[in-house]
Structure 1
Amino acid sequence: MTLNQYPADPGGSTGPGLGGTPDFGSSPAQKKAAARAIEEHIEPDTKKAGDVADEETGAAVKAFAAKDGHGWVTSGALKKAHETWGEQVQGLMNRLGSEKAALRNTNTLFQNTDFGVGLGVRKSSSLDGF
């Protein structure tokens, strides 16, 4: 692998100065489609995968635990790993929700920023005194 040259594949992304047109991210329609994909597919599928792992790991923890309280050490370790897994799934779900919201709010953010900059430029015009 060579890291000091451009990729040979011309199908990759080109940035400003690399022969392509400068493109700031994606269009509002692409952002809306990405947010919809997160909401309709990625979030539900991630939740389902987390739930399946949750059920199966819970069953394994119970299987390693003995009825008399003298179960395998594996049961406690698996239970701790299971809790960590649950926290990670929840963190991923929170991140997906944040990314979805950010995709939906980006257009508004840029419009408000442009409006604010326009007002600031207008206020500082030296031509107002003439």
Structure 2
Amino acid sequence: MRLNQLDGGGGGGPSGGAPNLATAPAKKKAAANTIETELEPDTAKAAKVADAATTAAVGGFEGWATAAGLKTVETTWDSQVKSLLARLSSEKTALRGTAVAFGQQELDTRARIAGVRPTSSIERY
């Protein structure tokens, strides 16, 4: 494959502008903290309330097919709650890791740029 010419300009993004990668570490940290302090605890709390209500209903329908059905629902619910909590934890970890990775990348780039000195013919003397 051979490139015969440059594009007409303005490439780099869907709007035709220059590519721009922007990140907001503080927002990522805030989102991770929200997951940790609100979503995870509230999800676990809601799961316990549902488990208690379902357990009571299973006891109330003892000997009926409904009790077996509710027990199946409870097992499925518990599995889904565990999956949701694992997903929330994974997202929290990813948000924090991304914030750190972008921050480190920025520091590395700044260090590389600071290490580049413009060459000048005066330096030969």
Pick the TM interval, shorter chain.
0.5 to 0.7
User: Which residue, 91, 95, 101 being the options, matches 1:103?
Assistant: 95
The letter of the residue matching 2:69 is A
Greater Rg, structure 1 or structure 2?
A: 2
Asked whether 1:77 is paired with 2:69, we answer yes
**Partner deviation per Cα, 1:11-56 (whole Å, 9 max, x = no partner):** xxxxx53489966464000000000000111111111111100000
Q: Which residue of 2 aligns with 1:68?
A: none
Instruction: Report matched runs for 1:5-20 at 5 Å.
Output: 16-18=13-15
Q: CA RMSD in A?
A: 2.9
Q: Is the 8 Å Cα contact of residues 31 and 95 (structure 2) preserved in structure 1?
A: yes
Percent of counterpart pairs with the same letter? Answer: 49
Q: Is the 8 Å Cα contact of residues 24 and 99 (structure 2) preserved in structure 1?
A: no
The letter of the residue matching 1:97 is S
1:23 & 1:79 partners in 2: Cα distance?
52
Structure 2 gap ranges (5+)? 1-12, 113-125
When the two structures are superposed, what TM-score results if normalisation uses the length of structure 1?
0.64
Asked whether 1:89 is paired with 2:81, we answer yes
Structure 1 runs, 4 residues or longer, greater than 2 Å off: 16-26, 107-112
* Greater relative contact order, per chain length (Cα 8 Å cut-off, separation 6+): 2
Instruction: Report matched runs for 1:1-130 at 5 Å.
Output: 16-18=13-15, 24=21, 26-65=23-62, 71-110=63-102, 111=104
Structure 1 gap ranges (5+)? 1-15, 66-70, 120-130
